[in-house]
Every structure is written in structure tokens, then in C-alpha cells.
Amino acid sequence: MRRVARNGLGIAAALLTIAAAHSPQWRWNLLAGMAPPPVPIDNPMSAAKVELGRRLFYEADLSIDGTMSCGTCHSQKHAFADDNRTRPGVYGDPGRRNVPGLANVGYAARLTWADPRLTSLELQVAVPVLGEHPVEMGMKGKEAEIARRLASDSCYIRMFQTAFPEVNGAIDMTTVAKALAAFERTMLAFDTPFDRSRRGRADAMIPAARRGAELFFGRADCASCHGGPNFTDDGFHALEVPTRGTDRGLGEVTGIASDDGKFRTPGLRNVALTAPYMHDGESPTLIDAVRHHRTVASIERLSEPDIADLVAFLRALTDQRFITDPQFALPMKACGKKL
């Protein structure tokens, strides 16, 4: 019997209102004036592809021993992050970096902590499934085994045929990656107290959060890196120079010494749910993370009350629908039957 990892919950899409942007067979539920995430021309959105991607997101047969799925590390209750500093792979190898949350990942220009070459969700799929540094799901060189496992399920055969008629329902790493990427693009999180405040709900944020917003966009200058609708510039920055033997970050990829210690600026939507923080999970709480920035970035002008207000603002970036909508959790049925 096919094994499905059920300890994770999946990528979510906020059910927002007002206006909708359209693509073939898919309707984006977006706020007025908001553009949908960019979609590659060779992987157009469709309801069938998203449904398949959702099932694959929780498919443990994408790992060598059938114990790990994407949802194992990306848990819905943690905004599709993980509450461990790092997560071991199928062989127990320690993880290298903290598991990021996936809110609005479809808009991201950079998709890992420190590799600028991975600029599409389709390419990123290979990191957990096929990667060796470290081993996560352990399927390097086993791509044909993935196809064999999925093709042994008649429901999967039907789902791939419906999602990918242009390639006659081919089951391979290309179509697996495309389906997963399509599902991940539905992960929208724009219904927060901060967003409601911007839409004219003066009471949407508590006073401390309003003070924190003034600090964030003003004196603390957090928005210089955490700017834009997703609170990230998608750039690589170093808060501190790594010591010998520690993670080089961007420098590991570029080979340039001045890139050592640089990591991608994480987006802050749902950040209150994605603890621990920093690329290595060294900061267990939001307060710790803000204090860490104050220390290494020399923002000494921030007092402890200031930090408390900043944390209140960061909590106001939480989209509760994103973490509770059952239609983005582990599917209980496929092809009209219970899984």
C-alpha cells in the first residue's frame, strides 16, 4: 500500500475576496489590484495540476524509505515551516539550515537561504527530493523509482493524465515538480491585521502593533531589507561574519570571500508562527530574533519597550486562514476514494 506522511499539513491559500485574476482553468482569489504570482509559460496553472500537487506534497513515496514528504517539514500549523532548529533527513543526517515558511512563496525571486541559482519553484523541488548536501528525502539517482511507485497507483495515473494531457500524463520528475510548484503558488497569505489596517480598519491592530509599525517603517529601518508586500528584498545580506568552520552561506556557492555569511532576507508574513529564527534556527523566539538584529546590526537605539512593540507588529502579520483552511491540508480522498 502506498505510504503517505500524515504528520505535516500542507501549503495553504488564503480565501481573499473582491477581484480575481484568471489563468486557464484556474481562478486566483486576490484582493483588488493585486497581481497573481508569476507563472512559467511551460507550467500553466490548472485545478487538476493543483489537486495533484497537493496530494504529492504529502506523498511519502517521494522519499527513499517512505517516511518523509514535503509536509513532514512544512507543517500548516507552523505556516508551513518547522518548529525545530533544523530537520534531519531520512538517514538521520542533521539538517543544515532552518526550514523556511512558505507564505506567498510563488512571489519569491530567490527560493533557498543561500543559492541564487534556484529561481523557480520547479527547480527548487530537486533540493529536498534529490539533494545530497545534506540528504533530505534521499532520492538522488532514484528518479525512475519515483515514477514506478506513483504509476503503481491507478488514481495517480488518472490524475497525471488530467493534469498533463500535453505529455500524455507522463509521470516523471518534471511533471512531479510542475505539479508541486503549481500547488505551492496557491499559497497566498494576505489577510492579516496589518492588511486589514491598510484597508481602512483602524482597529485591526492593537496599539502596540501600531507603534511597532511606526518603528518598523521608520526609526528602526527594518523595511530597508524587509520591504515590499512580502517584507523581503529577496537579497542576500550578512548580519555577522561567520567564524571558521561555520556555514558560509552565499559564499559557499559563489566562492567569493565577501559573500561569506550572507543569507537571503526571509519574508515576514506569518513570522510569528515559524519559530525558531535565523538561517540556523539560533533564535528561539521573535524577541530573541529582534534582539539578535539589534546586537549584530548595532541598532542600539532600540529599547526593550521598542522591541516589544516590534514583536507586536510582527504578530500582526499572521494570516489565520492560511493555517486553518482544511482544503490545503493533507487530502483524505483522491479519485473519489479514501486514501
pLDDT in tens, 44-67: 999 999 999 999 999 999 999 999
Q: How many CB atoms lie within 10 A of CB 2?
A: 14
Lowest mean pLDDT among 12-16, 77-81, 124-128: 12-16
Quote the radius of gyration of the chain (alpha carbons, Å).
20
Question: The cell 473519489 sits on which residue?
Answer: 336
Cα dihedral: 131, 65, 99, 321 (round 10): 130
Give the DSSP H/E element, type plus range, for residue 193.
helix 193-198
Give the DSSP H/E element, type plus range, for residue 237.
strand 236-238
Highest mean pLDDT among 8-12, 18-22, 179-183: 179-183
CA distance 318 to 306: 20
Predicted local distance difference test score (pLDDT) of residue 148: 98
pLDDT of residue 247 exceeding 80: yes
Question: For residues 253 and 118, is the Cβ–Cβ distance under 8 A?
Answer: no
Q: How many CB atoms lie within 10 A of CB 94?
A: 10
Residues 6+ apart with CB under 8 A from 139: 62, 63, 64, 129, 130, 145, 146
* Mean pLDDT (whole number) for 111-124: 96
Tell me phi and psi for residue 132, to 5 degrees. -125, 0
Exposed, middle or buried, 9 (CB in 10 Å: 0-12/13-18/19+)?
buried
Predicted local distance difference test score (pLDDT) of residue 300: 59
Cα dihedral: 112, 107, 276, 178 (round 10): -60
Residue type present at position 265? T
Predicted local distance difference test score (pLDDT) of residue 246: 84
pLDDT of residue 3 exceeding 60: no
Terminal Cα distance for the chain, rounded: 10
pLDDT of residue 285 exceeding 60: yes
Quick one: which of 146, 144, 13, 134 has its CA closest to 69? 146
CA distance 64 to 24: 35
pLDDT of residue 214 exceeding 70: yes
Highest mean pLDDT among 3-7, 90-94, 242-246: 90-94
Question: The cell 491540508 sits on which residue?
Answer: 329
pLDDT of residue 22 exceeding 80: no
Quick one: which of 129, 137, 79 has its CA closest to 270? 79
Q: Is the model's pTM score more than 0.85?
A: yes
Predicted local distance difference test score (pLDDT) of residue 284: 97
Q: What is the mean pLDDT of the chain?
A: 90
pLDDT of residue 8 exceeding 80: no
Q: Confidence class of residue 298 from pLDDT cuts 50, 70 and 90?
A: low
